[in-house]
Chain A
Amino acid sequence: MADQTIQGAGIKIKNLYKIFGSRGSAYVEAVKNGMTKTELNEKHHHVLGLRDINIDMPAGGIQVVMGLSGSGKSTLIRHINRLIDPTAGEVIIDGTDVCQMNESDLRQFRRHKTAMVFQKFALLPHRTVLDNTVYGLEIQGISRDKQEEQARRWIERVGLKGFEDNYPNQLSGGMQQRVGLARALTNDAPILLMDEAFSALDPLIRMDMQSVLLDLQKEIKKTIVFITHDLDEALRLGDRIAILRDGEVIQQGTGQDIVLQPADEYISSFVKEVNRGRVIMVDTIATTTGGPADAGHVSVASGTTLEEAAKTMTDANQQYATVVDENGKSLGVLSMNSLIQAMVTPISHLTAAAAE
């Protein structure tokens, strides 16, 4: 954490296993030696929750864990603050293994290092918005004045000013989740855990909340672990994405990695529905050769998405654009033709999907 602006702490998950059932630890070896989920369930009536999870979540970034229901994603996020105890493995934060902490260390860790936002909001129904928001600071034993000062700041920041004295069930779902977010942010912990935080909201509100989160993250730069079942949401939010299936990580990388090189047919079946123009960046398709000499009337910054680049180019009525880095140095040339080609789903993905 050499960079001062990054507040978050990195999270290293190593060889994490979770087997649900009365004698979970007895079967770890068997699972390590290749016993399948079905076999474990049929022979020993234990459920394999997570198998050999290894994820390195960088500090100050948004790590998305994506998977469908039953993939183990909610189980995984609950290992980070140990709401669920692992059967084997390590979760290392700031050099300490969360799985080895005793009860009072764990409580201190939860109070100061993590904050969580829940799918079903999980607000206290008998408390007002303000009293819900101060919850984390209240149990830390901070003075009421300080609690309120922090809480009011975040309530305003998430756009709920004027609702401080309302009760949760006077608010819509979207507003309740803003309270959930304000409650987590007020805690001012370096790690923010978001368990399907926006899944219960309708699509427009969900987009809205995603924008709120991205906007906030520019300022707070926390380590955010975001769980979702929605690939579009994953691609929009995630600096890095891990995809889970049946308790195993089947691919991890940046959004672009996943869209361009899906690890298997399961992932490509998701990816084929994605708006590639919003995920792939100009750097991927820029070439240093082949452009006409008069190319480069328009320039687009490195890291721009294809969609934005296309807009810039059509606005300027140009067939070519130069990709430049932060210092204005040319990295390559982009043609409208290659751009459109990259935005259209490659044939190989379509046939893979049709074969299913």
Chain B
Amino acid sequence: MDWFYSFPNMNDETLRNLKKTMDEGFKAFTREYGDIIESFFEPLQYFLIQAERFMTGTPWPIMVLLIAGIAWLASRNWKIVAGTILTLLLIGYFDMWSDAMKTIAMIFVGTVVSIVVGIPIGIIMARSDSFQRIVNPILDVMQTMPSFVYLIPVVMLLGIGKVPGLIAVVIYAIPPMIRLTNLGIRLVDKDVLEAADAFGSSSWQRLKNVQIPLALPTIMAGINQTIMMALAMVVIASMIGVQGLGQPVLRSVNGQFFSLGLFNGLAIVGIAIIFDRVSQAYGKRLQKHQEVVHG
């Protein structure tokens, strides 16, 4: 009855060999292809460095005006603009300006990559049920797998630095982008699609004139979620050398510096609120045709 009380597991020797083979296999793969993969991500690194250089290199008053200007263009709402300026000034006053700019640069690049990769995948998913069946479980894994686990192979391949951090951010942040693009397109009114077909739309015209515009509120919600998830990833990404607000948080965990952690944590919250309110207000403004209703 021994097997009944202790699980009859694989014997230690076999298990050890299995792990060893996998590890060695992956190490060999890393040695063989590491450079190629690294050069593949070079444009991304360039993009990241440029974004960071711009954000940290521009004098702070110009940066505040620029961000406030973007907030105004997107939201057309003075309250949001005032909140944005106040948050940025507070971050600067508490000496977190350059970390905050690095974080914003990272979030910006991460979001752009997620949108550029995520929307096309979402569109294909909406068009093909079999593709959806393949992608959905992958997205489930991406969202539930502890981030540390996929950081290991990424670091082994690319070392410590910005690009692996970015990849970790994108892996974590892209699923809502893909899922909500897919959902938005699938929910487009069948009657309107039929009308587009009846007038002889090609499938590109159907996508451009009907599906994307009508799915836009959902897609915007996806972008908003992606930004929030990317921000949430900032602290974890700091463990593999991503600079920004995550670094001081990590340090404060190690050294038990309560106030350092709190200030930087609040700065992340502040940036999250700015991004959230601005992107939501923009999404709502795109839908202005739905507000005025025949009475």
Contacts and interface: CB of A to CB of B under 8 A. Distances in A.
B200 to A, nearest CB: 3
A185 to B, nearest CB: 12
Given A118-B194, A124-B210, A125-B214, A171 B200 contact: no
B214 A126 contact: yes
Given A125-B289, A126-B289, A169-B292, A116 B205 contact: no
Interface stretch (A107-115, A326-334, A343-351): A107-115
Nearest to A136: B199
Interface string B174-208: 00000000000000010110111111111001000
B294 interface: yes
A170 interface: yes
A139 interface: yes
Given A81-B198, A110-B197, A116-B195, A124 B290 contact: no
Contacts of A143: none
A83 interface: yes
Contacts of B210: 124
A187 interface: yes
* 3 A-B pairs closest in CB distance: A111-B200, A110-B200, A122-B195
A187 B213 CA distance: 22
B293 interface: yes
B39 interface: no
Contacts of A126: 213-214, 216, 287, 289
Contacts of B292: 167, 169-170
Majority-rule SS of B interface residues: helix
A169 B197 contact: no
A81 B201 CA distance: 13
Contact of B294 (A108, A124, A136, A172): A172
Given A118-B191, A124-B192, A125-B289, A83 B197 contact: yes
A125 B191 CA distance: 12
8 contacts: A108-B200, A110-B198, A112-B200, A122-B195, A124-B210, A135-B196, A136-B199, A139-B205
A278 interface: no
Contacts of B197: 83, 110
A126 to B, nearest CB: 5
Nearest to B191: A122
Contacts of B202: 107, 139
Nearest to B286: A126
B50 interface: no
A120 interface: yes
B77 interface: no
Contacts of B294: 169-172
Contact of A122 (B194, B201, B205): B194
A115 B195 contact: no
A114 B198 contact: yes
B129 to A, nearest CB: 15
